[in-house]
Chain A
Amino acid sequence: MSKRDTLRQAFFALLLATIVHASKADDVAVLSPMTQEYANLLNPMVDEQLIPGYYLSVYKNGQQVVDLSLGFADEEANLLPGQDVLYFIASMTKPIVSLATLKLVEQGQLNLTDPVKQFIPEFANVLVVPEGDLDNPTEELGRDITIHDLLTHTSGLTYSQDITGREEIAKVYADLGLFAIDGLAESKLGSLADHVEQLVQLPLVFQPGEVFVYSVGIDVVGRVLEIVTGKPLDIAIAELVLKPLAMTDTHFTIPEAKRGRLAAMYSPRVATYPIPGVYRRYQPYQNLPKGHQNFGVSEAGYLSGGAGLVSTARDYAKLLAVMSNGFRVGQKQYLSPQIGNQLFRNQLPAVLEDEGLVYNFGPSANKTGFSYGLGIRLIEDGNLTRSDDHDYYFWAGAANTGFWIDLKNDVYGIFMTQHLPTQYDRTAEMVEIAR
């Protein structure tokens, strides 16, 4: 009986929450028309119970102009979404590690053209199985893999089938748990170094520099950073990026004291539902260690430069501010624009034109280029070589977080929710609303 009462209470709490939201919606109405437009776009996802809640932050000319949320960041703990709520940002780690790499380039400790084997000798001997199909004859490396290849996903490495890997070898990654998402909480393979040691035993799926294959490349960069700096990746990233940018809420493993601000992870609820109407289409993510509401709690994972970070919208905005502001932190130059601006140039082989990302992300990813950890969306009939034709820069995390930088309009925005895998990407519409 008591459990049923709990359920009933939960039901009433939900009703109450709806009422609170209703009054909150009234507040929104007196806010800016832009905020209202964002609410019109995003609120239905919560109202239709696709996700438990979201947070959106938009900045224009360096000032926050939208601070919008609805629902819950953790339903069980009654945690409301906000700019100081910690979210697992997954692949939004990649731009941070890319920036750290450029910082090392500036310090003269590394060149983007350096072959990876200079740091991890086993990369000299990896083989290639074209298209990742184990039936194809094995080839030797046509040329060495470089840091540039790793940062642009053109190294020939791939991802586990659980993420975006689509080749036969991606299945081998999955079977081994190689750079698996769930390994971030509990690694089957051990440390970052152990993962790399396993990775070099497997063949590449394409020759380096040929095809954009979304990959563990930036995880390998993470290992290179460890080797170059002589420090574990979390320390290296903290020193190269997080501390200089005052990103105080960005962690691979959050301190215990911040646990109460950590959002819960959700995933699609796969269930039959034989009656009409709207019902809850998400459920708590099932693959975390017992008692953990999200990634970023456990020390038993590996340090992932590709996907390991937990951050807040307020913190991530600091990164986007630096990138939008000529790589200055306040008045101080953090990174030379000459090096930093590499992030705003298409770094993919010209032969891929603007179709490179379609291989992994489907037809909606056409008209897109890629720099270092950052996608480049083109305007209609645009050309990637002309920076004037770049509509906006963006990337997203596997748990449905995303950001964009609209340099021409001096706008950037961050969207946070926790739904693994991403099913509700509204970036294109969000970019338009701020214009």
Chain B
Amino acid sequence: MDSRNVNAAKCRRVIRSLFIVVLFGVSVPSLFAETVEYDQAKLAEIKVLLDGLYEKGQIPNYAVEIRKNGKSVYAAYRGDTELGGSVPVGPDTIFWVASMGKPIVSSAVLKLIQDGDLSLDDPLSKFFPQFESMVVAPMGDLDVPFEIARAPITIRNLLTHTSGFTYNPLVLGLGDVAYQYAELEVMSQKFSLAENLEMLAQIPLVAQPGASFNYSVSVDVLGAIIEKVTGKRLGEYLDEIFFKPMGMTDTAFRVRPEARKRFARFYTPESLRNPASTIAGSEIEWQIVETAPFGLPYDGWGQAPTFDSGGGGLYSTAQDFLKYAEMVANGGVLNDVRYLSAEIAAIHFQDLMPELGLEAFEVAFGEAAQYMKFGGGFGIKLEEDGSDRADYYFWGGAANTFFWIDGQDGNVGVFFTHIWPPRYNLSDQIEALVDGARIVK
């Protein structure tokens, strides 16, 4: 164990020095090719794919759009915000994008690093001393001997879900500790952020910090650090640096009452226990019924939260989210306004934990996570040819929302519908269709 740790520490030192090179030595003008064209007939396959699901009554609606260089490359919107409703789904339909808030919060952390207020290897305990000496229950198992955390939890760990925190079992949490999160309702809206942190500090980690990937409440902890450093509520800070200047008017930790009519409802597959009903005037035989994710009925969603959950509390629209994705893809610039320096924006796409192999994601995500690495708040999907080339950078939300940034030309895409639990994780297929439609000259 000891020699391994020394190696890891050495490794980290090397990586840190590499970073310094990246930060100060090299300028990163643009990651991606400027001009690119797509075969529209091939892009139309996206609609064929989604229409198939819609017409079979399996998804209530969909919003899909691809943009490149500030222009829409492809867009298709279909259905209403509610089965049998009269508000069509469009670029301004509001979805609960949930975990897609994680990359945005990560971008805000990078902004604070750029401003010199934070650094990647700052320990969490610098901001919240209660996390100074943590206990580890390996694999979240409470029946084996606990360990003492051998390294501090750092900002880097929080950005990459390698802090050792986990989630409750509904969000892929690990072991008995995940059930402790559920029982104590850690990081729930029942408590203030301060109270949530107090509880979190008293629960064992499921792994040594930096040792493995565990999908986790880490981004909520980053939100707390942002609030501490800026003295502002997370939503207020994100408004100030990103949402307001970019015109992401419907992106927030709540749904404004006047915008509520544009907020899509949630659906789940029908079952013998819960059969679908006929929707008057609809020719589709629906195989879904309205549902209440996490037991919270529709009316409860979008209300002002107790705390701004960067990890899961965000609402947004296709047109809003595409702006954020374009800003990141363009190296920190949107519509000629610079939000992040090119060097800082590039961190989104860098493997921040290179010592973790591809198997690091198996525990949380199983087989589907082959070829996955993790950057600054973004999942990195590698090409499946064994090379290190990124196919795309991405993340998804709990109610079946996804976005991605292409690794080759930097086009950005979203695919939203509201199915809970998520079932149509199709971003890989849609992204592949876009790849296939690119015209190589």
Q: Please list the residues of chain A having a beta carbon within 8 angstroms of any beta carbon in chain B.
A: 1, 3-4, 7-8, 11, 14, 162-164, 268-281, 360-365, 396, 398, 421-423, 425
Contacts and interface: CB of A to CB of B under 8 A. Distances in A.
Interface residues of B, number: 49
Given A3-B138, A11-B367, 17 more contacts: A4-B139, A11-B366, A164-B273, A271-B169, A271-B172, A272-B99, A272-B170, A272-B171, A272-B398, A272-B421, A274-B396, A275-B425, A276-B396, A276-B402, A278-B425, A363-B276, A421-B272
A278 B368 contact: yes
Nearest to B167: A272
B422 A361 contact: no
A412 B273 CA distance: 25
A275 B379 contact: yes
Interface of B: 98-100, 138-139, 141, 144, 169-172, 175, 215, 269-278, 285, 359, 362-363, 365-369, 372, 379, 381, 394-398, 402, 421-423, 425-429
B403 to A, nearest CB: 11
Given A268-B421, A271-B169, A4 B273 contact: no
A14 B366 CA distance: 11
B81 to A, nearest CB: 21
A275 B367 contact: no
A276 B380 CA distance: 12
B277 to A, nearest CB: 6
Contact of A276 (B139, B144, B277, B426): B426
Given A273-B172, A273-B422, A422 B272 contact: yes
Nearest to A400: B272
Nearest to A398: B272
A44 B421 CA distance: 19
Contact of B275 (A268, A272, A361): A361
Given A270-B170, A271-B421, A274-B397, A396 B275 contact: no
Contact of A272 (B172, B273, B368, B372): B172
Contact of A7 (B269, B274, B363): B363
B379 to A, nearest CB: 6
A400 to B, nearest CB: 8
A3 B98 CA distance: 30
B428 A276 contact: yes
B125 to A, nearest CB: 26
B393 to A, nearest CB: 12
A280 B359 CA distance: 18
Contacts of A362: 270, 275-278
B325 to A, nearest CB: 15
Nearest to A358: B278
A279 B368 contact: yes
B313 to A, nearest CB: 13
Contacts of B426: 276
Contacts of A275: 365, 368-369, 372, 379, 394-396, 425
Nearest to A361: B275
Contacts of B171: 271-272
B368 A364 contact: no
A276 B421 contact: no
A421 B402 contact: no
Nearest to A423: B271
Contacts of B394: 275-276
A364 B427 CA distance: 31
A164 B270 CA distance: 12
A11 B358 CA distance: 14
A311 to B, nearest CB: 19
25 contacts: A3-B139, A3-B141, A4-B139, A8-B359, A164-B273, A270-B170, A272-B99, A272-B398, A273-B421, A274-B398, A275-B368, A275-B379, A275-B395, A275-B396, A277-B367, A277-B425, A279-B366, A279-B425, A281-B423, A360-B275, A362-B278, A363-B277, A364-B275, A364-B276, A398-B273
The 3 A-B residue pairs with the shortest CB-CB distance in the complex, in nearest-first order: A362-B275, A277-B368, A276-B428
A421 B365 contact: no
Contacts of A276: 368, 381, 394, 396, 402, 425-429
Contacts of B138: 1, 3
A419 to B, nearest CB: 9
B271 A363 contact: no
A279 B365 contact: yes
B274 A421 contact: yes
A20 B277 CA distance: 41
Most chain A CB within a 10 A radius of its CB, from B365, B367, B381: B367
A280 B366 contact: yes
A396 B278 CA distance: 22
Contacts of B274: 421
A273 to B, nearest CB: 5
Given A271-B170, A273-B421, A275-B425, A363 B272 contact: no
B99 A274 contact: yes
Nearest to B277: A362
A416 to B, nearest CB: 15
